[in-house]
Amino acid sequence: FFFFCPGLETFSQLVHEDDYGSFLVNESEIDDFPRFAHRGILLDTSRHYLPLKSILTNLDAMAFNKFNVLHWHIVDDQSFPYQSIYFPELSDKGAYSRNHIYTPTDVRLVIEYARLRGIRVIPEFDTPGHTQSWGKGQKDLLTPCYSGEQPTGSFGPVNPILNTTYDFMTKFFKEISSVFPDAYIHLGGDEVNFDCWKSNPEVKEFMKKQGFGTDYAKLESYYIQKILDIVFSYNKEYMVWQEVFDNKAQLKPDTVVQVWMENNYAHELSSVTGAGFTAILAAPWYLDYISYGQDWKKYYSVEPLNFPGTEKQKKLLIGGEACLWGEFVDATNLTPRLWPRASAVGERLWSSRNVTNLQDAYKRLTNHRCRMLRCLHEK
């Protein structure tokens, strides 16, 4: 079966078996190219640690489905498995355990394994929200929350008013920029809860000094802009979640905005591309939202360019991502939950706009699924 599952994916899909068990390929000319340049899968290794094997198996599956970007949401509130060279305490104190980490060697392995399959690895270090686990190994990074005059003992987003924050981020992103070779780093910027900032007297004082009034979105943008500048100084481009755009931070022209909020995402795509920014679409493709039945059909039926906009705007939508957030996912159920549902997204991002017939897709997808079983099993 080995030649079924090589890097020559399109070719391998031409192979079929006759009634006598021989494998055949009809003489064909292959004219195949992707519709969208960014075809990604998001994996979350913070809500649950994913052992290397499961990440590598997933990279194989991605290759079979012509995905070319692994968006590695590597750390978050719950755990910090990334072993930093400059700041070893981050994972020492922030990972689930000493075993639940990715060493520099592990990271290099993932990047290389992906590279050999034509897959880029874009790491996401999401700040200023989603950072609870960072605070365990980096004192004073997070904002102390207050109840009246007293600190409560709990912490909120990254503290945007301290110089030490930016000293840390400067050094941290220097490391990240050299560890991950891709031109892009994902900087997150989603779901920043302002309650803790609002409770902190020093933050309130800072807001006054800066003339931000009570508009904490301005404080968020202030922070983000400084991070963007830091990352830019290392010659990296960045991707951000849509809130960074929505809250009007000053973004460099090459910023990629990831649209993830389901409510009226077509409108968001118009706004983002209308403002001249590149966009990628994730909103209708949150594959962690499981439901009973053939939900692959609704993923397949998404037409990314169905939003009001000019030709020029449409060109700014460079692709999309199927996201598998990790709240309920780990190595025990990752592969069956992601595949072949993500394959529907894979075809939508690769094939022509007019390839939409569900019945035909079903036939091909069930076949493809059997092929994936064989190929992933071989590995």
Partner 1 sequence: MAYNKFNVFHWHIVDDPSFPYESLTFPELSKQGAFHAITHIYTASDVQTVIEYARLRGIRVVAEFDTPGHTLSWGPGAPGLLTPCYLGKDPSGTYGPINPILNSTYQFVTSLFQEVSAVFPDFFLHLGGDEVDFTCWKSNPNIRAFMKEMGFGEDYKKLESFYIQRLLDIISSLGKGYIVWQEVFDNAVKVRPDTIIHVWKENPTPYTEEMANVTKAGYRALLSAPWYLNRISYGQDWMAAYQVEPLKFEGSSEQKDRVIGGEACMWGEYVDVTNLTPRLWPRAGAVAERLWSNATVQDLQDAYVRLADFRCKLLGRGVQAQPLFVGYCENEFGGF
- In the complex, the residues that contact partner 1 under the rule CB under 8 A are 47-49, 51-54, 78-79, 96-97, 99-100, 288-294, 326-333, 335-337, 373
* Minimum gap (Å) between residue 330 Cβ and partner 1: 5
Rounded to a whole number, what is the distance in angstroms from the first to the last CA of the chain?
11
Annotated catalytic residues are 191
Nearest approach in angstroms of CB 359 to partner 1 is 18
CB within 8 Å of 128: residues ≥ 6 apart = 157, 158, 160, 189, 192, 220, 223, 224
Smallest distance, partner 1 to C-beta of residue 52, A: 8
Q: Which is nearer to partner 1, 55 or 269 (CB)?
A: 55
Q: Which is nearer to partner 1, 106 or 202 (CB)?
A: 106
Q: In angstroms, what is the minimal distance from the CB of 79 to partner 1?
A: 7
Closest approach of Cβ 255 to partner 1, in Å? 30
Describe the crossing of helices 201-210 and 216-233 by its angle, rounded to 10 degrees.
Answer: 80
Return all residues near 226 (Cβ < 8 A) that are at least 6 apart: 166, 169
Residue 102 or 216 with smaller CB distance to partner 1: 102
Q: How many whole angstroms from its chain centre is CA 289?
A: 16
90 and 138 Cβ atoms separated by less than 8 Å: yes
When the beta carbons of 98 and 209 are compared against partner 1, the nearer one is 98
CB-CB contact of 36 with 67 (8 Å): no
Q: How far apart are CA 14 and CA 27, in angstroms?
A: 9
Residue whose CB is less far from partner 1, 79 or 221? 79
The answer to whether residues 345 and 64 touch, using CB atoms and an 8 Å cutoff, is no
- The answer to whether 320 and 265 have CB atoms below 8 angstroms apart is no
